[in-house]
Amino acid sequence: MVNQQSIIQNKRKLYIESYGCAMNFSDSEIIATIMTENGFETTNNEFEADVIFLNTCAIRENAEQRIRDRLKHLRSNKKSNKDLIIGVLGCMAERLKNKLLEEEKLVDVVAGPDSYRELPKLVAEVDDGGRAINVLLSREETYGDLNPIRLNTNGVSAFISIMRGCDNMCSFCVVPYTRGRERSRDPKSILIEAKELQKNGFKEITLLGQNVNSYLWFGGGPKKEFKSLTPEEQINSTDFAQLLELVAIEVPNMRIRYSTSHPRDITENVVHVMNKYENICNYIHLPAQSGSSKVLELMSRNYTREWYLDKIYMIRSIIPNCGISCDIIAGFCSETDEDHKETLSLIEIAQFEFCYMYKYSERPATPAAKKLEDNIPESVKGDRLTEIIKLQNAISLKKNMTYVHQVVEVLIEGDSKKSKDFWMGRNDQNVVVVFPKTTESKGDKVKILIENATTTTLIGKPI
């Protein structure tokens, strides 16, 4: 008979590397859960792995290029371990499908975001000498029944995925094609996961979805609008404002954040719920993408510059100190100097805490790739991006300087990147704070007097 010890020793080792957005990092925890339930154990050492999964991103060309380079590099691991199985999962797998098996001869498994339950079977197919692929997208899968194990965790903050897919069809974006139709997860399972995190000592939860404000639970399946539900479904449904409130009440001692909001769908209700509960952080990520209504229309964002700015006024009128961050794309198809100036002026008016800023990267098969010409020269995209970054950095610095001499509450996440003698955490508005260690521990909430600031960081001392 095989004893328990030898079973443990014989477990095959899985190494997962994640790229892209928080949703992908959260998916890697789902993948690890499925694999460990099927006899694997995770490792942080790629050289002792029997299986390496890259959980990939396809959002911009350079994201995919990075992964191709990594795959080439992994060839050497394969040389020293001929049984090593390499899988490409996630958005790039979904976008390129079996092209990845054909082009990158070192890939054994290709699996899209909705086929992770099949991974043990796919690996077994490779064990039997084949190569394996599953890129079917689902209309129902939310992995809601799984209780994810936490990977590379700081033990303080964790993600909870509340929905999957995206129905927005922004013309530049590959996500609807890589992650499929939008569907929401059963709120009961979300509350169970939140409680479990609290039990395990976590202090902060971020509710994740491509477009959290369109979260709507009515029993499962592809997204529907509230007005198209039956009266019974309407009574029993849960929208995002309700979900946020349920989570805030369920785990009153945990900080709650969420991401990402679409400006078209964010409602006053959600902002009122944020305002009502002390434990919901005053921070909203609200990507504008552009400040020009003409460009926004070409992007199929379904709002105008004025609509976007109205949302900013609405948020700040309810929560004056709300931190707001943004995504901006520079050099989208047909963007003129005038359009670009409108983006600069929107940034100036909105006064974001911070911004994620990108050059437009055409993605094959998206509506923009099919219908619009990627006609802004790279050098112009680069110049515009530089100008946007310069402006936003000045605003971030100015906003961060307003914290100097103020006391903020910080949740300690771990050591600061630069020095083990300093803690790093975030304030309510999601701004990074570092301060010298005294008697505190990771996971504590502490009051910090801010003494200095940079574009990205507040520097202070405990009081």
What residues line the site for ligand 5AD (CB under 6 A)? 59-60, 172-173, 287, 289, 327, 329, 358, 360-361, 363
Residues counted in the chain: 463
Residue 23: contacted member of ligand SF4, ligand 5AD, none (CB under 5 to 8 Å, by partner type): ligand SF4
**E strands within 261-382?**
283-285, 323-330, 354-359
Which residues, at least 6 apart from 387, have a Cβ–Cβ distance to it below 8 Å? 340, 344
Q: How far is the CB of 176 from ligand 5AD (least distance, A)?
A: 11
Among 15, 24, 262, 315, binds ligand SF4 (CB under 6 A): 24
Residue 57: contacted member of ligand 5AD, ligand SF4, none (CB under 5 to 8 Å, by partner type): ligand SF4
Taking CB under 6 A as the binding criterion, the range among 21-29, 32-40, 253-261, 305-313 that sits at the site for ligand SF4 is 21-29
Does 109 bind ligand SF4 (CB under 6 A)? Our answer is no
Does 20 bind ligand SF4 (CB under 6 A)? Our answer is yes
Distance from C-alpha of 426 to C-alpha of 255, rounded to nearest angstrom: 11
Q: Mark 35-64 with x for binding to ligand SF4 (rule: CB under 6 A) and - for no binding.
A: ----------------------xxx-----
Q: How far is the CB of 309 from ligand 5AD (least distance, A)?
A: 18
Distance from C-alpha of 145 to C-alpha of 164, rounded to nearest angstrom: 14
Distance from C-alpha of 72 to C-alpha of 392, rounded to nearest angstrom: 36
Which residue of this chain has its Cβ atom nearest to ligand SF4 in the complex?
20
* Angle between helix 187-199 and helix 240-250 axes, rounded to 10 deg: 30
Q: How far is the CB of 160 from ligand SF4 (least distance, A)?
A: 16
The answer to whether 91 and 24 are in contact (CB under 8 A) is yes
Q: Name which of 352 and 360 has its Cβ closer to ligand 5AD.
A: 360
Does 162 bind ligand SF4 (CB under 6 A)? Our answer is no
Q: What angle do CA 301, 349, 206 make, to 5 degrees?
A: 60
Q: How far is the CB of 179 from ligand 5AD (least distance, A)?
A: 12
Q: How far is the CB of 187 from ligand SF4 (least distance, A)?
A: 22
Count of residues that bind ligand SF4 according to CB under 6 A: 13
Where would I find the H helices in 82-137?
91-96, 99-103, 119-127
Distance from C-alpha of 389 to C-alpha of 211, rounded to nearest angstrom: 25
The answer to whether 55 and 110 are in contact (CB under 8 A) is no
Q: Name which of 211 and 427 has its Cβ closer to ligand SF4.
A: 211
Does 21 bind ligand SF4 (CB under 6 A)? Our answer is yes
The residue among 440, 403, 431, 434 whose CA lies nearest residue 418 is: 434
Give 450's strand partners.
460
Q: How far is the CB of 426 from ligand SF4 (least distance, A)?
A: 21
Q: How far is the CB of 174 from ligand SF4 (least distance, A)?
A: 6
Does 168 bind ligand SF4 (CB under 6 A)? Our answer is no
| Strand (E) or helix (H) holding 188 | helix 187-199
The answer to whether 220 and 236 are in contact (CB under 8 A) is no
Q: How far is the CB of 245 from ligand SF4 (least distance, A)?
A: 27
Chain position carrying tokens 């927005």? 168
Give 257's strand partners.
206
From residue 389, alpha-carbon distances to 20, 282, 283 in Å are 21, 24, 21
Residue 91: contacted member of ligand SF4, ligand 5AD, none (CB under 5 to 8 Å, by partner type): ligand SF4
Residue type for position 141: E
The residue among 396, 296, 286, 395 whose CA lies nearest residue 343 is: 296
Residue 172: contacted member of ligand SF4, ligand 5AD, none (CB under 5 to 8 Å, by partner type): ligand 5AD
Q: How far is the CB of 337 from ligand 5AD (least distance, A)?
A: 19
Residue 165: contacted member of ligand SF4, ligand 5AD, none (CB under 5 to 8 Å, by partner type): none
Residues between 169 and 188 that touch ligand SF4 (CB under 6 A):
174-175, 178-179
Q: Name the site residues for ligand SF4 (rule: CB under 6 A).
A: 20-21, 23-24, 57-59, 90-91, 174-175, 178-179
